[in-house]
């Protein structure tokens, strides 16, 4: 046996997200193959496909639980949007004052950097709300797969909304495509996923596990 260790993050991902009845056997098989000379790239690819296959299998097997997670998650997300908006509005004025503005900067033009800062600030508040959503979904379903399905639905919804708005809304004169929101929006499903991960207990490993 060689002393080569497989990529740690990949192993952690596998342990964290693979919860099926054969999760331990899959981890052992991948380690055995890795130590017989497979590359880290091979290991990463196998881990990702194993996690996706496990989650897809879990979602298909527990359709009612997944549907409940999606409905519950979106209800919580909608309910949290009100306090989140209130926090964003209450933070806006002090932030503008701190930045040296007496009024909201124009939407476009040289002061768009200030607007970006406001966007980042409001995004951080929304991330906290998404984190709480993910945490609640995970506590209710006790399943990483359900949280991942909820986060995926969030990702699809947010980008679909951006696509629809960018096609249907008229562009103000001089405006360029808002790149920043494209990146900031990705943080929402990631926050939900992170919240869910922290809420779901890590699967127990065998006593001899390393």
Binding site for another protein (CB under 8 A): 1, 20-22, 24-33, 35, 45-46, 49-54, 56-57, 205-210
- Report helix, strand or coil for 102: coil
Cα 105 from Cα 169, distance rounded (Å): 21
For another protein, the closer of residues 56 and 156 by Cβ is: 56
For another protein, the closer of residues 24 and 121 by Cβ is: 24
Q: How far is the CB of 142 from another protein (least distance, A)?
A: 20
Q: How far is the CB of 61 from another protein (least distance, A)?
A: 9
Q: How far is the CB of 35 from another protein (least distance, A)?
A: 8
Q: What are the two backbone dihedrals, phi and then psi, of residue 36, each rounded to the nearest 5 degrees?
A: -90, 10
Which of 88, 74, 196 is closest to 140 using CA atoms?
Answer: 196
For another protein, the closer of residues 55 and 69 by Cβ is: 55
- Report helix, strand or coil for 110: coil
For another protein, the closer of residues 60 and 99 by Cβ is: 60
Q: How far is the CB of 50 from another protein (least distance, A)?
A: 3
Cα 41 from Cα 32, distance rounded (Å): 15
- Report helix, strand or coil for 193: helix
Q: How far is the CB of 186 from another protein (least distance, A)?
A: 25
CB 111 within 8 A of CB 161: no
For another protein, the closer of residues 169 and 206 by Cβ is: 206
């Amino acid at each position: 046996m060689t002393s080569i260790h497989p990529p740690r993050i990949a192993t952690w991902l596998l342990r964290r997200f693979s919860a099926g009845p054969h999760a331990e056997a899959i981890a052992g098989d991948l380690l055995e193959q890795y130590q017989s000379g497979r590359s880290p790239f091979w290991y990463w690819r196998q881990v990702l496909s194993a996690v996706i296959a496990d989650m897809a299998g879990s979602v298909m097997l527990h359709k009612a639980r997944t549907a409940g997670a999606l409905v519950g998650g979106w209800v919580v997300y909608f309910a949290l949007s009100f306090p989140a908006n209130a926090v964003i509005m209450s933070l806006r004025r002090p932030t503008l004052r701190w930045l040296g503005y007496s009024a909201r900067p124009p939407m476009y033009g040289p002061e768009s950097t200030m607007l970006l800062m406001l966007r980042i600030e409001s995004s951080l508040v929304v991330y906290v709300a998404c984190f709480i959503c993910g945490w609640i979904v995970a506590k209710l379903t006790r399943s990483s797969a359900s949280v991942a399905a909820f986060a995926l639905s969030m990702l699809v919804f947010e980008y679909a909304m951006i696509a629809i708005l960018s096609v249907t809304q008229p562009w103000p004169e001089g405006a360029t495509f808002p790149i920043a929101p494209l990146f900031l929006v990705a943080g929402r499903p990631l926050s939900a996923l992170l919240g869910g991960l922290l809420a779901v207990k890590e699967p127990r490993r065998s006593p001899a596990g390393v």
